[in-house]
Amino acid sequence: MYTHSKETQGSLTPTSALDILKAGNERFVNNLKANRNLLQQVNETSGGQFPFATILSCIDSRTSAELIFDQGLGDVFSIRIAGNILNEDILGSMEYATKIVGTRVLVILGHTNCGAITGACNHIEMGNLTTLLNKIKPAIVNETATKENRDGSNANFVKNVTEINVHLTIERVRKESPIIAELEQKEQIKIVGALYDVETGKVKFYE
């Protein structure tokens, strides 16, 4: 598997960049890892990087973007924070990745059985974690399908909140970053939501 260069990055469309991630996850699920020389990629990326994707995901130890999409060094910008929430620093990182470096696809990746989502559903309050979990509350409010047992013990409720959190984050990216919104309007990037299943390894994309 080759290391991305300025030329290969520039030749990708947002759709083809997303297809690379889809193919990588398919390899991951089927335990067919692409043949890479990581040390060679260290050398090839020492003078610069040309990643094709930016991925916001959770810090969960099971959700490493490079692994679940079978990517190598220099392929993706991986932004990780509990609950894959959004803040100004993350938006700035996304703007750098898309506008300056030129990634073609921006993925907001949630995952099943998320501890942060569950904690928010249980209204956990603990130090600085309270502020982080409060950012998930809009997704809880927007989950109107569940009438009873609206807490972390209800797996379906947690899953619904997880999915809504992904979609609300995409909406916030478009609203709070005119830079990224313009790139999407000009079809220079694609913004996509996705959900990683920790039981199967499969990523479901929302398109």
Statement: residue 130 has pLDDT above 90? yes
Average pLDDT value over all residues in the chain:
94
138: Cβ contacts below 8 Å, ≥ 6 apart: 168
Alpha-carbon distances, residue 68 vs 34, 35, 140, 199 (angstroms): 12, 15, 27, 12
Summarised one tens digit per residue, pLDDT across range 69-109 is 999 888 999 999 999 999 999 999 999 999 999 999 999 99
- In order of their start, the domains of the chain are 6-206 (3.40.1050.10)
pTM of the model: 0.94
